[in-house]
Every structure is written in structure tokens, then in C-alpha cells.
Amino acid sequence: MKTVILMPTKNEDWVLPTTIKAGKLIADHILVSDQNSDDKTIKLLEKEDKVTILQNTNIDHSNVVRWQLLDEARKIFGKNNIIINLDADEILPPQMYLKEKKNIVNNRAGTVFSSPWVQLWRSVNQYRDDDSVWNPKKNNKLFMFIDNGKMDYERTYTINDHTSRVPTLKTKKNIPLAIPLLHLQFVNWERSQMKQIWYQCKEVLNGGDSQEINNKYRNSQNEDNIQFSPVKSTWIEDIIFPSQLDQVDISKLWYFKEVIEMFEDHGIEVFKELNIWHNSYLKNFINN
């Protein structure tokens, strides 16, 4: 039985040096599906052993990449493996996972696993711990399974992949783990906010209702009554965070460039009802 991480990427050089190193401590192999990255993502991945890069040729950000990764993992590694679905900005604490691995592998094929989804927020030293949806006590993420070769996704196309990480068809029981799944997206706050704007604009162009989209992404922009707790040392053992993790030049960020292209191609009027215009970079664009 192998442990295989499946990971989609697109321009993730800001975080990959951290997350790939952590992933290699727990996985026999990392299978990456890259969607036309034009930063240092590919160069970083090519330097790593235990990493195989696939090409994601899909135009949009969608759940199709999950199907591709699962199919390819089965071709290469067969079935009865531990499959861990991670995004490029996530870490499963290596030492905690390795201590629990014996108990995990004792479960039958078809079992799925979930973990508290911990949002590191504006810093790698704190996580959001308030009454919002981001409280890990009430936000468990399904992300891992023991593949029986029969489990599958529903394979209904969905733009902006917020569908289940793990297959939902022909699965067995769901086991919650006490291991936190660390999400680094909100460490880099400005980058995360431009990413949410990109999501929203994409969904408008796909025919979504602006008010429904606003409601969907509200929690990723809202910091009302925010509270934090310190990250526990056991969570980040053997993990080194670079000092520049929270730095970004928005003007060079691909999310920002594509948002501006959408404005130019379709006109600002199409997006006027989205709750995005508080963003200072968009205000500057409009004013100019």
C-alpha cells in the first residue's frame, strides 16, 4: 500500500517550496496536475523527486482535474492505496500523520477520512477560531481515502471546484481524524482576496446570479468579530515557512491580470453587482 498525494496547481510558486517538502515527508509519491503555470511552479516541481507532473489542459478552474488525477493514480499505482487530495496551499502535519498511519491503514478499502480544516489567517502563527464558518471545530474537510478501485466522483462538471475532494460513489464509512489540515490561503491576505474576486468574476461569466455569488463568497471576505488562536507547535513540526510567504505584488498576480482582462473583454457593467469594488486595486483600476 502506497501513500499518494494528488494535487492540482496553477502558479503556486509562492507556497510550493513549503507544501511539497511537507508532502514528501508523508507520501511515497506526489502526482501534480498543472494548469499552464507561467511562474516558477514547473521548475520547482521538476527539481523534486517523488513528483510526477501531468498537464491540465482544461480552460476553466473546475472539478474535472480531480477525475484526471484519480484516473492517473490508478493507472500508475493501482488500487488499495491511501489517496490524499491536497491543494497546493495545504499541509497535513507530517509527524501527526505518521503517528496515526497505522490506525488509518487498518481500515477497509473504500473508507474516507476528514480532518478539521484549519485556516491560518494573516500569519503562519495564528488560525481563525471564532464563531464563523472557519472555526475548525465545525469545519471538517473530507480529503483522504483508501482506494478500492470502484469509488468515483459523480463526474458532473462544476466551475470553480468547491465539490467533494473525495469520491462520493461506492464509498464505505467516513472517519474523522484529529489531525488538522492546515490551509495557508489566508496567510497571504491580499492574494487571497484577489483570488476570491477572480472566482466571482468567473462565475458571473458562467451565468451565475450576482447575489448568489456574493453570498457564496461572503465568508472569505468577512472579518467581523474575528478571533484567533495560536498555531500549535506539534502542527508545524519539521515545517519551515519562508518569511516572504505573506508578500505579493498584486499588479503581477495572474488572478489580477485575468480579472482586468475580463473587465476589458466584457465591460465592467457585467460585474457591477458583485461585492468586489471595495478592493483598493480595483478602485485604482476604475479611477484610472
Same domain, 203 and 260: yes
pLDDT exceeds 60 at position 194: yes
Same domain, 265 and 138: no
Beta bridge partners of 126: 230
Compute the half-sphere exposure of residue 100: CA atoms within 13 Å on the CB side of its CA. Answer: 17
pLDDT at 43 (0 to 100): 97
Same domain, 222 and 206: yes
pLDDT exceeds 90 at position 267: yes
Same domain, 156 and 258: no
Q: What is the pTM of this model?
A: 0.94
Question: Does 141 map to a domain?
Answer: yes
- What is the span of the domain harbouring residue 45? 3-183
pLDDT exceeds 80 at position 22: yes
What's the structural domain count of the chain? 2
φ, ψ of residue 221 in degrees (nearest 5): -115, -15
Residue bearing cell 480544516: 117
Instruction: Give the least confident one: 168-172, 183-187, 222-226, 232-236.
Output: 168-172
Q: How far apart are CA 186 and CA 184, in angstroms?
A: 6
Looking up residue 120, the CATH number of its domain turns out to be 3.90.550
Angle at the Cα of 140 from the Cα atoms of 137 and 141, rounded to 5 degrees: 150
124-136 confidence digits (pLDDT tens): 999 999 999 999 9
Last residue of a domain, one of 130, 153, 183: 183
pLDDT exceeds 80 at position 159: no
Question: Does 106 map to a domain?
Answer: yes
38-83 confidence digits (pLDDT tens): 999 999 999 999 999 999 887 777 788 999 999 999 999 999 999 9
pLDDT at 161 (0 to 100): 61
Question: Does 57 map to a domain?
Answer: yes
Same domain, 130 and 7: yes
pLDDT exceeds 70 at position 248: yes
Same domain, 221 and 207: yes
Cα of 258 vs its chain's centroid, Å: 19
Determine the average pLDDT of the residues in 240-246. Answer: 88
Same domain, 131 and 163: yes
Question: Does 234 map to a domain?
Answer: no
* Percent of residues, the chain, with pLDDT higher than 70: 97
Same domain, 136 and 41: yes
80-101 confidence digits (pLDDT tens): 999 999 999 999 999 999 999 9
Same domain, 211 and 260: yes
Task: Report in angstroms the alpha-carbon separations of 221 from 35, 123, 229, 275.
Answer: 26, 16, 19, 10
pLDDT at 164 (0 to 100): 87
Same domain, 89 and 148: yes
Beta bridge partners of 8: 33
Mean pLDDT of the residues in the chain: 93
Determine the average pLDDT of the residues in 264-286. Answer: 89
User: CB burial class (10 A; 0-12, 13-18, 19+) of residue 171?
Assistant: buried
In contact, 93 and 179? CB cutoff 8 Å: yes
Question: Does 235 map to a domain?
Answer: no
Question: Does 156 map to a domain?
Answer: yes
Confidence of residue 285 (pLDDT cuts 50, 70, 90): low
Determine the average pLDDT of the residues in 152-175. Answer: 86
Sign of the CA dihedral running 81, 84, 88, 93: negative
Q: How far apart are CA 65 and CA 52, in angstroms?
A: 15
How many C-beta atoms surround the C-beta of residue 164 within 10 A? 17
Same domain, 248 and 220: yes
Question: Does 249 map to a domain?
Answer: yes
pLDDT exceeds 60 at position 288: no
φ, ψ of residue 90 in degrees (nearest 5): -130, 150
Question: Does 238 map to a domain?
Answer: no
Q: State how beta strands 181-183 and 112-119 pair.
A: parallel
Same domain, 124 and 102: yes
